[in-house]
């Protein structure tokens, strides 16, 4: 298997001190669309998600519930696993940082860094934010708080340090040689200026609490939660067994989907840890934007984080996925409002795609003996419509390689629009073929609904991949099931 045919995509692993909400659903749905797209495009795919279970924040939350951190982690990790089920997520693996396979890999990377002289013991004094699980310089604080608004505490303890400062030039060389490694461009620029400004060595162990992986040989220290967490991306590939096919096939051609708040960890610390351990840095990191809810910041205290279950119950899984991917450019911030959701879903799904499919399938059912009609003589409009549908794969592939989901969907829906405009002037076979193309291409984004449409066109399971777009047109005379509406229409909802 060559790297060009392999595709490894990851979500951040989610802290178990919180329960799943829209902010966690977002990268998960995006990574799922990518994984599904690549599988349909003939690639060998690994799609990894999971939970981040160690650290002071989780320890404190568990204590406030009066249960052990492990019990607390077990409970909340299953909620994230349940989120994957609710959102029709096709992950191949779900990693938990409390699993033996992960702990073994983190111990191994620590020992490797130590052997290579990248770690030393020294006194630490500085600011730490438990909420962010991050260290801050005095100069970064804003009104005595972290730049994220989180509280910080003064910390003085003996820590192990990673020689991050020694990696500045090699990090800059990595960014330089890989202009696509950090996206979007604005994030890349931020990272490059941060590294250019100079790096300090990074504290990578703690002694004031115990919920973490003990430092090999120094059990009074636990490994810094970010070194622990980032390593999940390779422990899931069986690191330290770098000869294992999982590792050799999927590393380093990875795409890490992350939120804009955790870019520094992924684009600075992670490549430095990897290179220092003698491994390749990741090939791409894409940072998406943040959602507000009805104009407000999503926060635990406001309790406005929408759980995936609520989203799915209210709109259905495919419409919810469609909205998240279509509404915003993936790198931008935006607002989630029920008004916007209802407007978008009624117009794009119920009116545009839903009506097209319904009209065509009902006409075929009534007038063509409920089976795929004969193509007949194609007229100019027929050829134009089919050509537009045929050109889509290449366009969408280009957009997806840049994680531009909204543009990919916009391109598909442009052809939905054309088909709708010509519905009365084209032959039914052409329209059915156009719908087949559209449904095949829509599968990564709205797998359930697209699958139902393909069922209604009697497209066999083996003819639903992208190669089948050209190789397996509809066969005239194939009997079709009774048409059924695919996309519900929603009532204009009051906010909330
Ligand atoms: N555990 C770390 C990640 C470790 S990865 C090796 C973490 N977890 S988290 O649960 O706090 O956040 C996970 C992701 O959810 C982050 O990428 C974050 O950007 C994303 N989101 C949380 N709230 C969000 C919004 N309101 N909008 C969009 N994404 C948001 O960080």
For the stretch 174-208, pLDDT in tens is: 999 999 999 999 999 999 999 999 999 999 999 99
Residue 197 DSSP SS3: coil
List helix spans (H) across 225-316: 225-230, 232-235, 245-250, 263-264, 270-276, 308-315
Q: For residue 493, what pLDDT band results from cuts at 50, 70 and 90?
A: low
With CA atoms as reference, report the closest residue to 330 among 292, 291, 299: 291
- For ligand 1, whether the C-beta of 233 sits within 6 Å is no
Q: What is the CA radius of gyration of the chain?
A: 25
Give the C-alpha separation, 312 to 25, whole Å: 11
pLDDT category at 496 given cuts 50, 70, 90 is: very low
Six token digits for residue 332 = 């931008």
Ligand 1, residue 260: give the atom nearest the CA. Answer: 19
For 132, 149, 346, 408, the CA distances from 340, given in Å and listed in that order, are 31, 29, 10, 20
Average pLDDT of the chain is 96
- The distance between the two most distant Cα atoms of the chain, rounded to a whole number of Å, is 82
The per-residue pLDDT for range 90-127, each reduced to its tens digit, is 999 999 999 999 999 999 999 999 999 999 999 999 99
pLDDT score of 3: 53
Residue 492, pLDDT score: 78
**Is the CB of 14 inside a 6 Å radius of any atom of ligand 1?**
yes
Whether pLDDT at 40 is above 90: yes
Question: What is the rounded average pLDDT of the residues 120-149?
Answer: 94
In angstroms, what is the span from residue 260 Cα to ligand 1's centroid? 9
- The residue whose CB lies within 8 Å of the most ligand 1 atoms, and thus the one to mutate among 9, 10, 11, 14, is 14
Is the distance from the beta carbon of residue 26 to the nearest atom of ligand 1 less than 6 Å? yes
Candidates 67, 84, 90, 113; CA nearest to 20 is 84
CA-proximal residue: ligand 1, atom 19 (nearest)? 259
Does ligand 1 have an atom closer than 6 angstroms to the CB of 13?
Answer: yes
Query: Is 1 a residue whose pLDDT tops 90?
Result: no
Q: How many helices (H) and strands (E) does the chain have?
A: 20, 17
H or E, element range at 90: none
As a whole number, mean pLDDT of residues 225-249 equals 98
């Amino acid at each position: 298997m060559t790297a060009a045919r392999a595709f490894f995509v990851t979500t951040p692993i989610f802290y178990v001190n919180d329960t799943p909400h829209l902010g966690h659903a977002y990268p998960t749905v995006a990574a799922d669309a990518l994984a599904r797209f690549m599988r349909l495009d003939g690639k060998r795919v690994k799609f990894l998600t999971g939970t981040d279970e160690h650290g002071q924040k989780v320890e404190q939350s568990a204590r406030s519930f009066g249960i052990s951190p492990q019990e607390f982690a077990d409970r909340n990790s299953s909620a994230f696993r349940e989120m994957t089920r609710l959102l029709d997520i096709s992950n191949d693996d779900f990693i938990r940082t409390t699993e033996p396979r992960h702990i073994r890999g983190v111990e191994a990377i620590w020992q490797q860094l130590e052997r290579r002289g990248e770690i030393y013991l020294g006194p630490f004094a500085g600011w730490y934010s438990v909420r962010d699980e991050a260290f801050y310089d005095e100069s970064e604080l804003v009104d005595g708080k972290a730049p994220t608004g989180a509280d910080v505490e003064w910390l003085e303890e003996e820590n192990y340090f990673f020689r991050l400062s020694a990696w500045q030039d090699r990090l800059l060389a990595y960014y330089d040689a890989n202009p696509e490694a950090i996206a979007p461009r604005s994030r890349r620029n931020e990272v490059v200026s941060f590294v250019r400004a100079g790096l300090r060595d990074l504290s990578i162990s703690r002694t004031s609490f115990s919920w973490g992986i003990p430092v090999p040989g120094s059990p009074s220290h636990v490994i810094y939660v970010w070194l622990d967490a980032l390593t999940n991306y390779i422990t899931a590939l069986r690191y330290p067994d770098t000869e294992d096919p999982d590792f050799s096939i999927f590393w380093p051609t990875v795409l890490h989907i992350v939120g804009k708040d955790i870019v520094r960890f992924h684009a600075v610390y992670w490549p430095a840890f990897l290179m220092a351990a003698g491994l390749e840095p990741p090939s791409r990191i894409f940072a998406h934007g943040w959602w507000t809810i009805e104009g407000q910041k999503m926060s635990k205290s406001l309790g406005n984080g929408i759980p995936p279950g609520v989203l799915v119950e209210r709109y259905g899984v495919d419409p919810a996925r469609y909205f998240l991917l279509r509404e915003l450019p993936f790198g931008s911030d935006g607002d989630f409002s029920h008004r916007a959701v209802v407007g978008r879903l009624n117009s794009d799904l119920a009116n545009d795609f839903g009506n097209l499919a319904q009209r065509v399938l009902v006409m075929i059912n009534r007038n063509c003996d409920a089976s795929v009609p004969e193509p007949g003589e194609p007229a100019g409009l027929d050829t134009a419509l089919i050509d537009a549908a045929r050109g889509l794969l290449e366009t969408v592939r280009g957009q997806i390689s840049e994680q531009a989901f909204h543009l990919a969907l916009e391109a598909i829906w442009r052809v939905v629009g054309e088909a709708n405009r010509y519905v009365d002037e084209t032959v039914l076979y052409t329209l059915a073929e156009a719908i087949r193309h559209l449904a095949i291409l829509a599968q990564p984004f709205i797998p359930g609904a697209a699958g139902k449409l393909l069922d209604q066109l009697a497209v066999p399971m083996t003819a639903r991949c992208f190669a089948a777009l050209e190789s397996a047109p509809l066969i005239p005379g194939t009997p079709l099931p009774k048409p059924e509406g695919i996309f519900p229409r929603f009532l204009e909802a009051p906010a909330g």
